[in-house]
Amino acid sequence: MAPSKSRDADCCSVNFLKYVLQIFNVVFLMAGGAVLGVGVWTLATRHWQLALLSTASYAVAAGALVAAGALALLGAPLGCVGVWREHRCLLLLFTFVLLLIFLLEAMAGVLSYVYQEQVYRELETSLNSTFLGAYRADPRRSAAIDLVQHQFRCCGAMRFEDWQYSEWRRSEAAGLNLVPDSCCKTVSQGCGRSSHPSNIHYSGCIYRLSEEIEGQLIVLGAVGLGICVLQVFGMVFSCCLYIKLKDVVDW
């Protein structure tokens, strides 16, 4: 039978590991709050962009960060209790929580960077059909289109002339308008009746929209991949304390 070891045996004592893990838990809690905040902020303020995308990769990446942040806020107290009470089962559970958070953040980071390279091609394929077919037919997408055109000072997916081929333009809802009122430089009721460059924006929305989404994906990727490294240190120290407590006795 192997002899029991003291708390200060070997290179890392139990007290040292407990001290390091408690510091880690404080940093872990703050990082979890930051990850949760970035994910919630993205979903709350960029929901209109999600309505114009044909795939869910953007939403999945943001949702993974929300899940990781929520788990971190729950896992940090669990880790504190496990360390404080030197409870090996709680430490093991804490390690698995860290592993799950690591996987979620890594997934969000990798997905963000991979999707960033595909955003423009996706919009190039689907955005024009969304503009032409969904405007005024789909309230959620219609609101998103109006917001995009007004906020980015653009008109149409690729160019303002696209609107003449839209379902909306052929319907009675268009009235005398050549383009939606949200294309106008100064938005007012019926201002879309004139397509003169002094009245409406001529550039298509795909360019600014893709730049905006790509920029946000860089943020999601940096947060996901940057903070997931933190979980690796937590797992290492937690496993070390778990193993150390197996053979340690108080003297």
Q: What is the pLDDT of residues 121-145, one digit of tens each?
A: 999 999 999 999 999 999 999 999 9
Q: For the chain, give the mean pLDDT.
A: 89
Q: What is the pLDDT of residues 212-247, one digit of tens each?
A: 999 999 999 999 999 998 899 999 989 888 888 876
> Is 64 in contact with 111 (CB distance < 8 Å)?
yes
- C-alpha 47/C-alpha 43 separation (Å) is 5
Q: Name the band, by pLDDT with cuts 50, 70 and 90, for residue 88.
A: confident
- C-alpha 135/C-alpha 153 separation (Å) is 17
Q: Name the band, by pLDDT with cuts 50, 70 and 90, for residue 9.
A: low
Above 90 in pLDDT, residue 203? yes
DSSP labels, 7-35? TT-SSS-HHHHHHHHHHHHHHHHHHHHHH
Residue 175 amino acid letter:
G
Q: What is the pLDDT of residues 11-30, one digit of tens each?
A: 567 888 888 889 999 999 99
- C-alpha 216/C-alpha 218 separation (Å) is 5
Percent of the chain with pLDDT over 90: 69
- How many distinct helices (H) and strands (E) make up the chain? 8, 0
Report helix, strand or coil for 211.
Answer: helix
CA atoms within 13 A on the CB side of 65: 32
What integer pLDDT is reported at residue 2 of this predicted model? 47
The whole-model pTM stands at 0.85
